[in-house]
A and B are shown apart, each in its own frame.
Chain A
Amino acid sequence: MDYAATTPVDSRVVRAMSPYFNEKFGNTMSLHGFGQEAKEILEESRKSIADLIKVKPSEIIFTGSATESNNLAIKGIAFANRKKGNHIIISQIEHPCVMESVKWLEKEGFEITKVGVDKYGMINPESVGKAIKKETILVSIIHASNEIGTIQPIREIGKICRGKGVYFHTDAVQSFGKIPIDVDKMNIDLLSASSHKMYGPKGSACLFIREGVKIEPILHGGGQESGLRSSTVNIPAIVGFAEACRICKKEMKVEGQRLKVLREKLIKGVLGKIPSSYLNGHPEKRLPNNVNFRFDFIEGESIVVQLDFLGVAASTGSACSSVKLEPSHVLLATGLKHEQAHGSLRVTLGRWTTKKEINYFLKVLPSIIKKLRDISPFKKHD
């Protein structure tokens, strides 16, 4: 139950990809038949992805990862619009690839504002509006949090940006294919998405760039992807990504409902069975597949490893599981103390999560929490 980390590739996707390894293996840059065949399937794939968010195929640029898409969006806009201004706005709860990109831009002379969130991890669109100034060239806000699942009021934020003539980028890696996205209605200029979070293969991602947006490439070379991303195009992965999009488009509504029911069962079950347990993130405006709990008096890595012993995969925002020994910046941004953030557990559901699995989880978790609390020096009465 760690589908937000990555997903298995759907067997339908594997089937769609398989001819493109050793039968139809052409390079899109070659003029001969193999190359042209590859070029055709590339454009067909681009169309399937564009369809999912209702954009023109020419507005989709393929990249190798969501990290690359976010880097391209942020650095590409920054350098192309430098003459206009040097100010960029993000939120305090962005993915590390956005956080680190703007940190690097700071060294290059850009000024960064990070807008805060409320206790549910929600951004107030007005705070974005207030942060925009004459020099602002880009606002980048994550659509749905990868950690706590909170879905941001993207449409309202986009409207404010549009009104002030500022480009608006959203990192939609966790929401793409899971909830409906309409970039026109939501006033989005750039959007990042990734294949391996939606039952496609790793190594393929994309960036939607609205026609007319001024952007510079960060990879220079053979000029693939309209000159915005030079690199030999990874056809098998892109074909897989496209098939994954077609499946999501078809099944999103039903699957979203199914997951919501499981999610609510899980939340009610845990909060009802385990004392001193809480839900992180927004109670309603959250991804259908994301649950994030917090348990007092214990630490998250211990919970994750105990669950793993019993065959359940989950994750935590505790410092002890990170390479930096710092708890999740997202949980801290919602106002949690360090010691509270240590006790977090993220459970993310997916296409093959069943009611039986939820029941099993609800059966084993209380005794794990109790055991760890028995070991802990902090007890309720202290």
Chain B
Amino acid sequence: MIKKISKMGPYTKKVFECFNNPKNYGRMKNPDGVGKVGNPVCGDVMWLYIKVGKNKKGEEILNDIKFETFGCVAAIATSSILTQLAKGKTLKEAVKIDKKKIIDSLGGLPPIKIHCSVLAASALNKAIENYASRKTKKNKG
């Protein structure tokens, strides 16, 4: 009775790809910024870690980015695609990644899972904010 049925669930092929082969997951040692969002009670938690460097123009860029996610297929897929979209981008470009960009990159999300994309975008924003506030503190100190 073990057989594979190709049609499954409300997700696109791209969502499954990102869920099954997530990129950039795991804990980061000594990150420059961390964004923690979500609530285990609701079933979605994302932790996002960033390392910031500079490009040739001297702009701040996301040198490295990693995530850890507790959640459903959509939560893991949005986390992965977000890191793929953000990696190497300048901070200015990265903060512009919104839920629409994430959903489009996944070829769509079921309406009930839209909140996962919102969560992923806010995790990155939080991580960048966290980086900025650490920097301010450092400069003051």
Q: Is A21 an interface residue (CB 8 A)?
A: no
A311-340 CB mask vs B (1 if < 8 Å, else 0) is 110000011110101010000000001110
Residues of B within 8 A of A374 (CB): 25-26
What is the CB-to-nearest-CB distance from A8 to chain B, in angstroms, rounded to a whole number? 8
> Using a Cβ–Cβ cut-off of 8 Å, how many residues does chain B contribute to the interface with A?
33
User: With A323-B112, A325-B112, A374-B25 as given contacts, are A301 and B3 in contact (CB-CB < 8 Å)?
Assistant: no
Interchain CB contact under 8 A, A301 and B73: yes
Q: Is A297 an interface residue (CB 8 A)?
A: yes
User: With A299-B43, A323-B112 as given contacts, are A357 and B70 in contact (CB-CB < 8 Å)?
Assistant: no
Residue of B nearest to A338 (CB): B41
Q: Is B31 an interface residue (CB 8 A)?
A: no
Could you give 30 example pairs across A and B, Cβ below 8 Å? A297-B70, A299-B72, A301-B73, A302-B19, A302-B73, A305-B8, A305-B16, A305-B19, A311-B2, A311-B3, A318-B43, A318-B72, A320-B43, A320-B44, A320-B71, A320-B72, A325-B112, A337-B41, A338-B41, A338-B43, A339-B43, A354-B1, A360-B2, A375-B25, A375-B26, A375-B69, A376-B68, A376-B69, A377-B46, A378-B45
Q: Is A229 an interface residue (CB 8 A)?
A: no
Instruction: List residues 34-91 of chain B with CB under 8 A from any CB of chain A.
Output: 36, 40-47, 67-76
Interface residues of B (CB under 8 A from A): 1-4, 8-9, 16, 19-20, 22, 25-27, 36, 40-47, 67-76, 112
Q: Which of B16, B36, B40 contacts A338 (CB 8 A)?
A: B40
Residues of A within 8 A of B75 (CB): 299, 320
What is the CB-to-nearest-CB distance from A58 to chain B, in angstroms, rounded to a whole number? 39
Q: How far is the CA of A325 from the CA of B44 in the complex (A)?
A: 11
Instruction: List residues 246-266 of chain A with CB under 8 A from any CB of chain B.
Output: none
Q: How far is the CA of A319 from the CA of B44 in the complex (A)?
A: 10
Interchain CB contact under 8 A, B43 and A378: no
Interface residues of A (CB under 8 A from B): 297-299, 301-302, 305-306, 308-309, 311-312, 318-321, 323, 325, 327, 337-339, 342, 352-354, 357, 360, 374-378
Interchain CB contact under 8 A, B69 and A377: yes
Q: Is the interface of B mostly helix, strand, loop or mixed?
A: mixed
Residues of B within 8 A of A352 (CB): 1
Residues of A within 8 A of B1 (CB): 352-354, 357
Interchain CB contact under 8 A, A302 and B112: no
What is the CB-to-nearest-CB distance from A314 to chain B, in angstroms, rounded to a whole number? 12
Q: Which of A325, A353, A377 contacts B42 (CB 8 A)?
A: A325
What is the CB-to-nearest-CB distance from A354 to chain B, in angstroms, rounded to a whole number? 8
What is the CB-to-nearest-CB distance from B1 to chain A, in angstroms, rounded to a whole number? 5
